[in-house]
Amino acid sequence: MEKLQKMLVEVEVQPGQEVADLMRKIKSEV
């Protein structure tokens, strides 16, 4: 669970925002 918890990044979803966009953003940050 420790590694799984580390994989999860907090996000703030804006109305109408695609989940795919969030995933791309996380990919660029990790």
Partner 1 sequence: MLKNHRGSSDIIDKDEVEDHGVAVEAGAESTTHHRLGSARKPMSNIHGTNGYLVPLPSSSELLWVLLTSTGRNTQRIQLYALHGHHYTNAFFAIARQQQQQQQSNSSDGIGKDPFILKRISNEFLFRALLKLCQLERRTHQASNDGDIIKFASGLDVHGSDIDGKSWFYRMV
By the criterion CB under 8 A, which residues form the site for partner 1?
1-5, 7-11, 13, 18-20, 22-23, 26-27, 30
6 burial (CB, 10 Å; 0-12 / 13-18 / 19+) is exposed
Give min distance, CB of 16 to partner 1, in A: 13
Give min distance, CB of 15 to partner 1, in A: 11
Which run of H or of E encompasses 4?
Answer: helix 2-7
Give min distance, CB of 9 to partner 1, in A: 6
